[in-house]
Chain A
Amino acid sequence: MDAHSSAAMLVSNYVFPNDLHVHWSMMIVLYPYITGLVDGAFIIAALYYLFDVKSLRPVARFSLLFALAFLAIATLPLLLHLGRPERNLNMLLTPSPSSAMAGFGYIYAVSMGVVVFIVLFVYREDLVELRATSKGWLQLLYRALTFDSIDVSEGARKLDQKIIRFLVGIGIPIAVVLHGYVGFIFGGVKANPTWSTPLMPVIFLFSACVSGISAIILAYIVIRKVKGRSIDHNCIKTCVKTLTLFFIMAFTFEMLEVFSHSYLKSGYHHMVEGLLNGPLASSFWLWQVKICSVVPLFVLGVMIFFKIKDFIYNFMAAAVSAVLLLQVLIMRWNVVIGGQLMSKSARGYTEFHPEWFDKEGILAVIIVMAIPFIILFVLSKIFPFWTPDSETNVK
């Protein structure tokens, strides 16, 4: 039985014939997930470089590289999603000013530029050293990456710091715009009652911070453990506290959105309620809310209020970060795919079954998510993740 007859023939479940197919599938789940990881990681770097949260020093440089690696592939899921990817530059060349989506290319390009420049200035001393020991075309590359300057005097380094602070300063609003804008892409669709809320950019922004900070905590702990290196406990503690703050806000706004729908009882609210209690009952209430939000909130509360041994604390931090990474991914799924399950007929819900070998399928998702880690590995060969003195704070 095809999708049409199984869904549309149900007595009280009428789906418009063109709504049976879910047009924005897993790649559009990944896209906000990836930009969210970038934003969150950037927040950690910003806290250190701009807001002088010194305890974040061990992860500050790594956060920047992490953000760069994921930002580098942020357009990949979009290209895989487009029906005519070869026309993607039309968005930059002939943008329609009325469309929110038309801004993406520009916002993305500016974000990328800012992050690249921050990384180059942060690593300028390392790059100057590498330039001195390299030959041939590699030396030429390092000359370009160091802006052809080998000056690492006190004065030059102070100037670097000023430039970094300035770049991070303008980087914060750009990061907020990049991800808030992603939320607005959904929030601006009035035809879809689950998306159409001004809360959408806010929810996306806070959940972005949650996913990015979680990713930095988890990656830092895992990489340091695998490499047999020490873990800076103070750093982890600051990260967890920041994560807790952002997660409380993210979860509150997520719940506020649901509450608004049921309290305002605005048009089609019965469809939204039916969606959350029907097709999304498991992925929303059980997974997103209960398992991946309430449990981490409780764990984070324990970590904040009680004195816990360092190694247990670190283990809890890694575990809670992993769960929160999943929470944000499920939240993206529930918004993007969940929102489309609801037919605009306001009388029924369609179904979504992910495929393995589609260009937007599960295998493609795994490959897309693996690429930033390969980029990160390559970057680690040029830009050392950790500062040598990050070992000093060790416990």
Chain B
Amino acid sequence: MMDRRSFVKKVLNGSIAGSLYLVWPMGGDSLETPEEIPGIKGKEYDILTQEFAFIVDVTRCIGCGSCCVADKREYNVPDGNYRTWVERYVKGFSDNIYVDSPHGGLDGYQHPRTDIDEEIRDTFFVPKLCNMCKEAPCVQVCPVGATFISPDGFVLVDEKRCVGCAYCIQACPYSVRFLNPITKTAEKCTWCYHRVRKGLLPACVEVCPTGARKFGSMKDETSEVYKILKGPGVLTVLKKEMGTFPALYYKGARREVI
């Protein structure tokens, strides 16, 4: 007759052993990072030849806010500042546009707006992040060169050089920059450069449940972004008239999107 204590012990031992039997055949690879962007992991990264693109598919975004949560956790973004955010657009039959982004969409959009006193024609969500401009005004105005464009096309901030003058914040037409209240230096979305260099997707792309955020190499002809950008579909950029030539493209963005 087995007492209760030995029974529980046996069951636990069995569970652990059983789990190991399941995990062991997968080998040690399961503990390593996956290869999400082909051609980078385990190879020498040639910074001069790499090129990436980011596409936001507005028609797929459901406003869940997962991207914002992932981003906030990836970078420990202080409250009230946003490296990325999601806007909710509501269009009435009178062509009025109502836009909001409470807490940058961090909590998702779980409830409809109740303050609109007209019949709604349409509604959609627009994720926002760094546009990685090829002619970046933030890079131009930085007085100490702390903001720079890497040879592989990423606009980055060297927080060890930044003096915190906030000129880049004024110069960015998309308001994706802020002064980090802890480091007192300028900060913004980097398209998760540290992840990309390991062959991983940006955190927001990784968690997006609907594929509204797409990222990939333009050197890889099989990548989704390559196919979309080289394909016949219509893509737009934000504030084209600013002459910043963003590397962030929008698919299905209505003309109301600014």
- Which stretch, B27-35, B80-88, B204-212, touches the partner chain A? B80-88
A:1-19 near B, CB below 8 Å: 2, 4-5, 8-9, 11-12, 14, 16-19
Q: Give the residues in chain B near A343, CB-CB below 8 Å.
A: 175
Contact of B102 among A5, A12, A95 (CB under 8 A): A5
Chain B binding surface, main DSSP class: loop
B80 engages A4 (CB within 8 Å): yes
A91 engages B163 (CB within 8 Å): yes
- Which stretch, B10-18, B53-61, B135-143, B218-226, touches the partner chain A? B135-143
Number of residues in A with C-beta < 8 Å to the partner? Answer: 47
Contact of A17 among B101, B162, B172, B185 (CB under 8 A): B101
- Which stretch, B40-48, B92-100, B190-198, B246-254, touches the partner chain A? B92-100
**Contacts A83-B184, A99-B143; is A14 near B169 (CB within 8 Å)?**
no
Q: Give the residues in chain A near B162, CB-CB below 8 Å.
A: 83-84, 87
Q: Which of A90, A192, A340 has the most CB of B within 10 A?
A: A90
A8 engages B102 (CB within 8 Å): yes
Contact of A90 among B97, B144, B167, B175 (CB under 8 A): B144
A191 engages B173 (CB within 8 Å): yes
Contact of A83 among B100, B128, B179 (CB under 8 A): B179
Q: How far is the CA of A119 from the CA of B161 in the complex (A)?
A: 37
A96 engages B145 (CB within 8 Å): yes
A345 engages B99 (CB within 8 Å): yes
Say how far A34's CB is from chain B's closest CB, in angstroms. 17
The answer to whether B8 has its CB under 8 Å from any CB of chain A is no
The answer to whether A53 has its CB under 8 Å from any CB of chain B is no
Q: Give the residues in chain A near B115, CB-CB below 8 Å.
A: 9, 11
Q: How far is the CA of A106 from the CA of B115 in the complex (A)?
A: 54
Q: Give the residues in chain B near A82, CB-CB below 8 Å.
A: 163-165
16 inter-chain pairs at a CB distance below 8 angstroms, sorted by A residue, are A9-B115, A14-B101, A16-B174, A17-B82, A17-B104, A83-B183, A87-B144, A88-B163, A91-B143, A96-B142, A98-B140, A99-B143, A185-B167, A189-B141, A189-B171, A346-B258
Interface residues of B (CB under 8 A from A): 80-82, 85, 87, 96-104, 115-116, 128, 137, 139-145, 161-167, 169-179, 183-186, 241-243, 258
